[in-house]
Each structure stands twice: as structure tokens, then as C-alpha cells.
Structure 1
Amino acid sequence: MATPSELIKLDVCLYKKDDVSYEDFIEWITKTYAQEVIPIMKKHGMAKWVQTVNPPHFREPFRQQLEDMKRPLWTVPDYDIVHTYYIRGHDVLNGLRGDPKWVELEEEALKFCNMSIGHIVIGHEIVHFENN
């Protein structure tokens, strides 16, 4: 039986601002933001960071598939991106939140991200199968 990873997995699901195009948002968050934030994450001991982009053209077809599968109450959220952070402990998050450069980047993110809504999932990953 698989056991949970010792790493904490934190998914942060974000929406872009309505007045920002999807293309501009993805360009900024996966390139500009990523380039600036990675050294800060490394400095504070983050184990791994992954971004999952959620293109709008993926969402509606999958909503239809759910309907075809007779799952009318299931949803496909309109998140534009999901950040997945793998950390060894909550002290990593505390270090990030206290870092002046992180705070500066969070301020910049307000230009692109709708921070009035979002979603967080936190737990441990259990890998049952991985085919390398």
C-alpha cells in the first residue's frame, strides 16, 4: 500500500483579472513571474513548484463530457492557473510571506490576478503508479 509523501502539497487555484487577456496572463505568470519568484522559493527551501495552465478551450468540452457521464453536479472550474507547491513544513510559507521580494511580487500579481476569489487544496500526495 502506498504511503503519503512527507511533503505537503499545496494547490493554489487562481483566476486572471477580467481586463487581462488569457494570453497576456499566461505569458506573465509562466515567464516573467516565474523567473523572478524561483530564486525566492529556493532561498526559503521549497522542494518543488509546478504550474498547471487551464486554457479556456479545454473547459467546455470537458464540461460536456461530465454531462455525458451523467455527472450533472460535477464542475470544471474556470481557474486560469493552478500553482502546486511542495513544501517540507509550514515554516517555508512563513519565510516566503515575510520576504520583501515575495511581498513585492504579490503586489505586482494584483495587476494580473483576481485575488478576490480563488481556491486552495492542501494535503499529502499518495502516488500509486508512476510510469517513467
Structure 2
Amino acid sequence: MAELGNTQGDRPIKFTLTHYRKPEHTHEAFIDWIVNWHLPRALPIFKKHGILEYKIFTTPSDLNSGVKAMMIEKRPTWNFADFDCFLEYKAPNIEALTKVMSDPDWPAALEQEEDWVDTSRSLVSIGYETPYLLGNGDIVNVPGISK
């Protein structure tokens, strides 16, 4: 088995997961469930195992379909993702993620997942994030270009 180490020196790992809601729930109810039921159980586990950041990127269908209609002429071959949210974890290494998933309290944080999440459609990505334009307007990590 390949070693699950951080192959990029001290760079943190970014782990993302798409979630589709079960069809009997609205997008709004689904996000409310994640924020108000799941996260109060999950966040202490994340902190316990050194997860550096956790964010939810929501993708409401009205916004998605509006931008899709706007972009159809410029990018007719683009497909638009239709999942409800994109969960983003930043961890110091893969071991922190595996500790979360093996924590004895983790199953309780997922207890209602089967009722809300269509896990058969989830998509995982793992890798490293490299910034190029910072929130303060600085351009970084591109040789010959700055600010």
C-alpha cells in the first residue's frame, strides 16, 4: 500500500467532498441540517484532531442555473455541477483526516447522514491549494508578476 504522507513538505492537505441531498429535502433544509445538526457534533472532533479549517460552499440551484444560462454562449461545452454543497477541509496531513474518521464519536456525527445525504453521488478530491491572487490584491507564486 502506498504511504499516505504529505508529499508536499509542510503544505496542508485540502480534502473536499461534494454532497447531494436526498430528493425529499429542499436545498435550504439540507444546509440547515448540516449547519445546525451535523456541525455541532462534528466540529469538536475536527478541533480534537487538528483540522485547520472547515468550510461549506453551497450551490443553490437558482444561482447555478442563472449563471449557466449566462455562460451558455461563451462556454457551451461547460457542464455545471448540480450538487448541493462542497465541503472543504484543510488538514496538516492525511493522518488528521483518518483520525477524524476513526474517532469513536464520529459515527454519532454521521447518525442522520443516511436520511439526508445521497452518498452514492458524493465526489472526493484531495490535494494541495496554491494561492495566486490574495484577498488584499497581491499576486503571488507567479514568477515575474507581483502585486
TM-score relative to the length of structure 2: 0.81
Pairing 1:89-104 to 2, within 5 Å after superposition: 89-104=93-108
Cα deviation per residue 1:89-114 (whole Å; 9 max; x = unaligned)? Answer: 11111111111221222232111110
Higher Rg: 2
Structure 1 residue aligned with 2:125 = 121
Distance 2:10 2:55 in 1: 16
Structure 1 residue aligned with 2:73 = 68
Distance 1:76 1:99 in 2: 35
Q: CA deviation at 1:131?
A: 2.4
Q: CA deviation at 1:72?
A: 2.1
Q: CA deviation at 1:129?
A: 1.4
More helix by percentage? 1
Q: CA deviation at 1:77?
A: 1.0
Distance 2:86 2:28 in 1: 16
Correspondence 1:9 to 2:18? no
> Runs of 5+ in structure 1 lacking a partner?
none
Contact 1:10 1:121 in 2 (8 A): yes
Greater relative contact order (Cα < 8 A, sep 6+): 1
Correspondence 1:110 to 2:114? yes
1:43 aligned residue (41, 48, 52): 48
* SS in structure 2 of the partner of residue 68 of structure 1: coil
Q: Give the paired residue count.
A: 129
Seen in structure 2, the aligned counterparts of structure 1 residues 108 and 100 have a Cα distance that, compared at 3 Å, is farther
Distance 1:83 1:5 in 2: 22
For the aligned residues, what is the CA RMSD? Answer: 1.8
> Runs of 5+ in structure 2 lacking a partner?
1-7, 137-147
* SS in structure 1 of the partner of residue 46 of structure 2: helix
Distance 2:53 2:87 in 1: 11
Distance 1:98 1:35 in 2: 18
Contact 2:21 2:116 in 1 (8 A): yes
Seen in structure 2, the aligned counterparts of structure 1 residues 27 and 13 have a Cα distance that, compared at 3 Å, is same
Contact 1:7 1:89 in 2 (8 A): yes
Q: CA deviation at 1:13?
A: 0.7
